[in-house]
């Protein structure tokens, strides 16, 4: 039997600084290592999937916001744009601000209201007594409690989209189209991109509403409602940002 | 029951051999991350082959413009420009963004952090197939009437926004924009998945500072992807709108295209595109190179049997490069007519990036110093990476000087710079990763060593022979993106011998890749068996028993002699041991 030579202590590789501070202390002293956080992924308790989806949602929201920051910074830059007449040396700016259709105020109100309704729906799917009842198979109390709020959010959401459509038609009736002026181009592109993103939220919420009839697990419904709700709030904030841009930066 | 379609069960075998034999084929809609990693690998392999052929056609056209080529005839200047666009786009997007991040990330990332699956396997599958659609849309541009877009991978307007400007500016450019928009969406989905996996999927004990540097680099790259590609999507939307909806974001008034005045546009600014594009474009070059840096650190540590020198500074310099990468986009626009004050700021910040980059280089050399180096193929390619990174990196601060850049910007000097650092260095890291993780790419096989060595030396010498002389071309004032040198100004005619040399070495470089392809196919079918953990690595992707609960007790690179064993490495999941003395 050959035993490797005993090495002087300074050649050991267990220096504490190399690659980390060493093992974490147990997170739950006294529970016998029964802490879910120490379990392998996939077995970290009932909220693991929800938390994972929330992380993903916040990342999605970051990228959506960056998209709109890109578009709106182009908006700000483009405002100063114009044509330099090389003969006379006169620089004429060509930005003529769009008169914001009045219906946008109504749309904003609808979207703000819908943020409240979706928040009620979101809270309903997490109420512990109802969740427990449903978990035991005693009826569908979370569905009964959340569905009206989900439904009203969807109605308000479609109301907002319809209102945006009316706003576009109004501008068209005034002879303002995509190519009329850079401000109108940005108006249509920003409202259009926002409407498209809001429609994504509508799809998620529709799925959340349908899932309760399709016998999807309660957890999936919770995730869809929760992430859909946060997304919806974010789309509301995004709309306020865009609307404020139309109102104040023109 | 083990069902190969369910990723949670696919790995429920006692050995990797069985588990891998049970993987679905790459031609299936699989949600398993290893399969998706392979799919990405083959996608970028297809893209790189097309890209190489296009580059050879360009090189041929430069030195021999009248050459009658089989099937293609004589290459026209607009074809040259289309090849240039497609070469750049395929290489940057479908090779350098896909292979290091998505192919190898999917292949080993979940295992390296002790997770069994990615956070969202179905989203992962969707990302791949969306990328594939984007690839087909892009390649189809070469075959439509008018051919591919002529405006380069940067698609500067007004050229790219003007349909009447040339043959490829119609459908070809539309396909380019659509393909890139799809690619953006696919990359964003993939980035969300990567970040969520790393944040939420790590095994017990896998603290952030115990993650292998590969995982760190994929993490930072995914964050860059998330922020950068959104901006490109916005920019592409506005470009498409300028082309088809009559808007004037990028198009100024008074354009004369092919002798005809262009009406209907006014006030737009081509500079706006450059700002938006390079706000994406500069992080994009880090998206290409950061995973390579992670892979290189990993290889150098593994094969010099030493811990990574300065692990923490490696992590912080990765983050610093990621942050600084968003602040330097203006250095691509020194000659575009931006404010001199902005130029000064961008120039200073650009030179600041040299600091974290040097930290990395010094740490790589420090990792090698005093190690018991095993000269395997992955190590050779990683040392090649360091070499090319230094060579290509040193021309960075040169180009960061606005006054020097005024002269060099539109010359071959820049071509040399980015091919050295972004092209060749990243490709060397891809090669190192391919040779290293081949047993995971093709179950339990290992690549042939002799062929690998031949491949390395031909590629290494070929890379330097091809791109080094371009520095001198640039200093001599040879403009880039010109389709023809022959028959032009006299000072360019004198440079023709250098061009001939470059073309010959480009062909040598490309032929060397045939050795790689042959090695890939040969080793996949008849390669030697690798056994478990063939490189005696410390990270968890070689871990065999997937049924056991993974607990991480060690840092990622604990190499060094052990008292209790003849091994000189400690796998991260091994139980802690104490010295008897």
- Predicted confidence at residue B486, as pLDDT, reads 77
Which of the four pLDDT bands, split at 50, 70 and 90, describes residue B27? confident
Chain A partners of B565 at a C-beta cutoff of 8 Å? Answer: 4
Which of the four pLDDT bands, split at 50, 70 and 90, describes residue A29? very low
As a whole number, mean pLDDT of residues B328-357 equals 94
Query: Tell me, what's the ipTM?
Result: 0.91
In a domain? residue B16 = no
Question: What are A133-138's contacts with CB under 8 Å, separation 24+?
Answer: A134/A218, A135/A218
In a domain? residue B551 = no
- Predicted confidence at residue A34, as pLDDT, reads 63
Determine contact, residues B173/B243, Cβ cutoff 8 Å. yes
Q: In this complex, is the C-beta atom of B205 within 8 Å of any C-beta atom belonging to chain A?
A: yes
Q: Which residues of B469-498 are buried (b: 16+ CB within 10 A; e: fewer)?
A: bbbebbeebbebeebebeeeeeebeebeeb
- Predicted confidence at residue B109, as pLDDT, reads 95
Query: Which is it for the CA torsion B44, B50, B55, B56, positive or negative?
Result: positive
In a domain? residue B1 = no
Cβ within 8 Å, pair B238-A55: no
Cβ within 8 Å, pair B276-A182: no
Which of the four pLDDT bands, split at 50, 70 and 90, describes residue B573? confident
In a domain? residue B413 = yes
- Predicted confidence at residue B6, as pLDDT, reads 38
Q: Å from A60 to nearest chain B CA?
A: 7
* Higher pLDDT, residue A250 or B495: B495
Q: Is the pLDDT of residue A99 over 70?
A: yes
Q: Is the pLDDT of residue B273 over 90?
A: yes
As a whole number, mean pLDDT of residues B239-267 equals 90
Determine contact, residues B221/B426, Cβ cutoff 8 Å. no
* B243: nearest CA partner in chain A: A179
- Predicted confidence at residue B280, as pLDDT, reads 96
Supply the mean pLDDT for chain A: 86
Supply the mean pLDDT for chain B: 91
* B227: nearest CA partner in chain A: A63
Q: Is the pLDDT of residue B103 over 90?
A: yes
Cβ within 8 Å, pair A55-B559: no
Read off the pLDDT of residues B391-440 as tens digits, 9 standing for 90 and up: 999 999 999 999 999 999 999 999 999 999 999 999 999 999 999 999 99
Which of the four pLDDT bands, split at 50, 70 and 90, describes residue A80? confident
Q: Is the pLDDT of residue B9 over 70?
A: no
**Closest-CA residue to B247 (of A105, A192, A67, A167):** A192
What is the percentage of chain A residues whose pLDDT exceeds 70? Answer: 83
* Higher pLDDT, residue B106 or B574: B106
As a whole number, mean pLDDT of residues A128-157 equals 90
Range in A129-138, A193-202, B416-425, B571-580 the model is least confident about: B571-580
Q: In this complex, is the C-beta atom of B546 within 8 Å of any C-beta atom belonging to chain A?
A: no
Q: Å from A161 to nearest chain B CA?
A: 21
Q: Is the pLDDT of residue B555 over 50?
A: yes
Q: Which residue has the tokens 């879910």?
A: A36
Q: Which residue has the tokens 């490069």?
A: B321
Range in A43-52, A169-178, B92-101, B238-247 the model is least confident about: A43-52
Q: Å from A139 to nearest chain B CA?
A: 31
* Top mean-pLDDT range of A25-29, B137-141, B493-497: B137-141
Chain A partners of B550 at a C-beta cutoff of 8 Å? Answer: 40
Question: What are B7-14's contacts with CB under 8 Å, separation 24+?
Answer: B7/B31, B7/B32, B7/B33, B7/B116, B7/B117, B7/B121, B8/A42, B8/B116, B8/B117, B11/B116, B11/B546, B12/B546, B12/B547, B13/B546, B14/B544, B14/B545, B14/B547
In a domain? residue B580 = no
Q: Å from B62 to nearest chain A CA?
A: 38
Q: Is the pLDDT of residue B213 over 90?
A: yes
Whether residue A119 is preceded by a cis peptide bond, meaning omega within 30 degrees of 0, is no
In a domain? residue B293 = yes
In a domain? residue B360 = yes
CB atoms within 10 A of CB B358: 13
| CATH assignment of the domain containing B416 | 1.20.210.10
- Predicted confidence at residue B228, as pLDDT, reads 96
Q: Is the pLDDT of residue B548 over 80?
A: no
Q: Which of the residues B110, B247, B311 would you substitute to probe the A interface, choosing the one with the greatest number of A C-beta atoms within 10 Å?
A: B247
Q: What is the 3-state secondary structure (H, E, C) of B294-363?
A: HHHHHHHHHHHCCCCCCHHHHHHHHHHHHHHCCCCHHHHCCCCCCCHHHHHHHHHHHHHCHHHHHHHHHH
- Predicted confidence at residue B253, as pLDDT, reads 87
As a whole number, mean pLDDT of residues B358-385 equals 95
CB atoms within 10 A of CB A102: 9
Chain B partners of A55 at a C-beta cutoff of 8 Å? Answer: 119, 195-196, 199-200
* Top mean-pLDDT range of A83-87, B204-208, B348-352: B348-352
What is the percentage of chain B residues whose pLDDT exceeds 90? Answer: 75
Between CA B542 and CA B553, with CA B548 as vertex, the angle to 5 degrees is 70
Q: Is the pLDDT of residue B282 over 50?
A: yes
As a whole number, mean pLDDT of residues B150-177 equals 92
- Predicted confidence at residue A21, as pLDDT, reads 52
- Predicted confidence at residue B436, as pLDDT, reads 97
Chain A partners of B276 at a C-beta cutoff of 8 Å? Answer: 70, 74
Which of the four pLDDT bands, split at 50, 70 and 90, describes residue B69? confident
What is the residue range of B53's domain?
Answer: 26-253+263-542
- Predicted confidence at residue B70, as pLDDT, reads 84
Q: Is the pLDDT of residue B233 over 80?
A: yes
Q: In this complex, is the C-beta atom of B24 within 8 Å of any C-beta atom belonging to chain A?
A: no
Task: State the total domains in chain B.
Answer: 1
* Higher pLDDT, residue A18 or A204: A204
- Predicted confidence at residue B379, as pLDDT, reads 97
Instruction: Spell out the domains of chain A, with CATH numbers in brackets.
Output: 48-248 (1.20.120.80)
Distance between CA B467 and CA B55 in Å, rounded?
13
CB atoms within 10 A of CB A41: 21
**Closest-CA residue to B361 (of B324, B392, B323, B327):** B392
Chain A partners of B266 at a C-beta cutoff of 8 Å? Answer: 82-83, 94
Read off the pLDDT of residues A223-249 as tens digits, 9 standing for 90 and up: 999 999 999 999 999 999 999 999 998
- Predicted confidence at residue B10, as pLDDT, reads 39
- Predicted confidence at residue B579, as pLDDT, reads 58
In a domain? residue B538 = yes
Express the helix, strand and coil content of chain B in percent, nearest 5 each.
65, 5, 35
Phi first, then psi: what are they for B446, rounded to 5°?
Answer: -130, 150
Cβ within 8 Å, pair A67-B234: yes
CB atoms within 10 A of CB A26: 14
- Predicted confidence at residue A30, as pLDDT, reads 41
Q: In this complex, is the C-beta atom of B305 within 8 Å of any C-beta atom belonging to chain A?
A: no
Which residues contact residue B312 at a Cβ distance below 8 angstroms, ignoring those fewer than 6 apart? Answer: A17, B209
As a whole number, mean pLDDT of residues B99-126 equals 93
- Predicted confidence at residue A214, as pLDDT, reads 86
Which of the four pLDDT bands, split at 50, 70 and 90, describes residue B580? low
Q: Which residue has the tokens 């004990």?
A: B205
Nearest neighbour of A20 by CB, restricted to B207, B246, B579: B207
Distance between CA B36 and CA B45 in Å, rounded?
14
Read off the pLDDT of residues A202-226 as tens digits, 9 standing for 90 and up: 999 999 999 878 888 888 999 999 9
Q: Which residue has the tokens 């006169």?
A: A90
Distance between CA B557 and CA B308 in Å, rounded?
6
- Predicted confidence at residue B13, as pLDDT, reads 37
- Predicted confidence at residue A113, as pLDDT, reads 97
Q: Which of residues 263-302 of B touch A (CB under 8 A)?
A: 264, 266-269, 272, 275-276, 279
Q: Is the pLDDT of residue B66 over 90?
A: no
Nearest neighbour of A7 by CB, restricted to B268, B555, B563: B563
Q: Is the pLDDT of residue B11 over 80?
A: no
Determine whether B99 is exposed, middle or buried from the number of CB atoms within 10 Å of its CB (0-12, 13-18, 19+): buried
Range in A204-218, B307-321, B444-458 the model is least confident about: A204-218
Read off the pLDDT of residues B131-162 as tens digits, 9 standing for 90 and up: 999 999 999 999 998 889 999 999 999 999 99
Cβ within 8 Å, pair A13-B562: yes
Q: Looking at residue A124, what DSSP letter applies?
A: H
Nearest neighbour of B555 by CB, restricted to A7, A12, A20: A20
CA atoms lying within 13 Å on the CB side of residue A184:
22
Chain A partners of B202 at a C-beta cutoff of 8 Å? Answer: 41
């Amino acid at each position: 039997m050959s035993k490797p030579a005993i090495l002087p202590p300074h050649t050991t590789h267990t220096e504490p600084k190399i690659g980390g501070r060493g093992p974490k202390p147990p997170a739950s002293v006294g529970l016998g290592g029964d802490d879910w956080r120490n379990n392998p992924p996939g077995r970290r308790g009932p909220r693991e999937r929800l938390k994972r989806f929330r992380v993903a949602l916040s990342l999605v929201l970051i990228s959506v916001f960056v998209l709109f920051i890109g578009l709106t910074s182009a908006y700000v830059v483009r405002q100063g744009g114009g044509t330099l007449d090389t003969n006379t040396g006169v620089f004429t700016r060509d930005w003529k601000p769009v008169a914001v259709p009045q219906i946008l105020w109504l749309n904003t109100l609808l979207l703000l209201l819908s943020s409240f309704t979706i928040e009620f729906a979101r809270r309903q799917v997490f109420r512990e007594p109802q969740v427990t009842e449903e978990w035991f198979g005693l009826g569908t109390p979370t569905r009964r409690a959340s569905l009206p709020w989900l439904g009203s959010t969807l109605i308000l959401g479609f109301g907002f989209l319809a209102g945006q459509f009316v706003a576009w038609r109004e501008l068209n009736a005034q002879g303002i189209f995509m190519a009329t002026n850079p401000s109108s181009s940005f108006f249509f592109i920003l409202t259009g991109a926002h409407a498209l993103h809001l429609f994504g939220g509508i799809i998620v919420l529709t799925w959340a509403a349908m899932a309760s009839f399709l016998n999807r697990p309660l957890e999936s419904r919770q995730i869809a409602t929760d992430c859909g709700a946060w997304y919806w709030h974010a789309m509301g904030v995004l709309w306020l940002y865009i609307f404020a841009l139309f109102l104040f930066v023109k | 029951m083990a069902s190969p379609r369910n990723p949670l069960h696919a790995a429920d075998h006692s050995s990797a051999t069985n588990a891998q034999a049970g993987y679905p084929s790459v031609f299936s809609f699989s949600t398993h991350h290893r399969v998706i990693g392979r799919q990405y690998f083959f996608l970028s392999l297809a893209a790189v082959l097309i890209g190489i052929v296009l580059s050879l056609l360009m090189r041929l056209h430069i030195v021999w413009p009248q050459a009658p080529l089989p099937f293609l005839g004589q290459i026209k200047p607009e074809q040259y420009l289309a090849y240039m666009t497609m070469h750049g786009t395929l290489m940057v997007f479908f090779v350098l963004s896909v292979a290091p991040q998505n192919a190898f990330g999917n292949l080993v990332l979940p295992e390296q952090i002790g997770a069994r699956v990615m956070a969202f396997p179905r989203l992962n599958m969707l990302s791949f197939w969306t990328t594939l659609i984007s690839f087909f849309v892009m390649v189809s541009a070469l075959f439509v009437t008018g051919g591919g877009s002529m405006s380069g991978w940067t698609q500067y307007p007004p050229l790219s926004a003007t349909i009447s400007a040339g043959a490829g500016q119609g459908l070809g450019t539309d396909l380019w924009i659509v393909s890139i928009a799809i690619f953006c969406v696919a990359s964003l989905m993939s980035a969300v998945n990567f970040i969520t996996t790393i944040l939420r999927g790590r095994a017990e004990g896998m603290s952030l500072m115990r993650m292998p540097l590969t995982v760190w680099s994929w993490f930072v790259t995914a964050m860059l992807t998330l922020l950068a590609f959104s901006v490109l999507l916005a920019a592409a939307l506005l470009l498409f709108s300028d082309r088809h909806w009559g808007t004037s974001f990028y198009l100024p008034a008074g354009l004369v295209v092919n002798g005809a005045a262009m009406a209907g546009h006014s006030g737009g600014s081509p500079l706006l595109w450059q700002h938006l594009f390079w706000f994406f474009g500069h992080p994009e070059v880090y998206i290409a190179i950061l995973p390579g840096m992670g892979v290189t650190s990993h290889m150098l540590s593994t094969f010099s049997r030493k811990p990574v020198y300065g692990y923490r500074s490696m992590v912080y310099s990765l983050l610093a490069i990621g942050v600084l990468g968003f602040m330097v986009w203006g250095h691509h626009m020194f000659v575009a007519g931006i404010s001199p004050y902005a130029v000064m700021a961008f120039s200073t910040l650009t030179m600041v990036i040299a600091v974290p980059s040097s930290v990395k280089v010094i740490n790589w050399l420090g990792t090698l110093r005093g190690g018991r180096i095993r000269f395997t193929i992955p190590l050779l390619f990683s040392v090649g990476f360091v070499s090319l990174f230094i060579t290509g990196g040193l021309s960075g601060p040169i180009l960061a000087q606005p006054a020097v850049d005024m002269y060099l910007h539109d010359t071959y000097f820049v071509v040399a710079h980015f091919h050295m650092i972004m092209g060749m260095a990243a490709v060397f890291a891809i090669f190192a990763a391919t040779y290293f993780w081949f047993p995971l790419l093709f179950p339990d096989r290992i690549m042939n060593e002799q062929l690998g060595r031949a491949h390395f030396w031909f590629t290494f010498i070929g890379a330097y022979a091809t791109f080094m002389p371009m520095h001198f071309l640039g200093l001599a004032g040879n403009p880039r993106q010109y389709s023809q040198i022959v028959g032009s100004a006299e000072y360019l005619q004198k440079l023709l011998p250098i061009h001939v040399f470059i073309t010959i070495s480009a062909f040598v470089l490309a032929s060397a890749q045939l050795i790689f392809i042959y090695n890939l196919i040969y080793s996949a079918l008849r390669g030697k068996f690798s056994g478990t953990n063939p490189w005696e690595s410390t990270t968890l992707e070689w871990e065999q028993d997937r049924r056991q609960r993974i607990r991480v007790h060690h840092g990622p690179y604990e190499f060094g002699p052990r008292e209790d064993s003849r091994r000189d490495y400690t796998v991260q999941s091994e139980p802690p041991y104490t010295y008897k003395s």
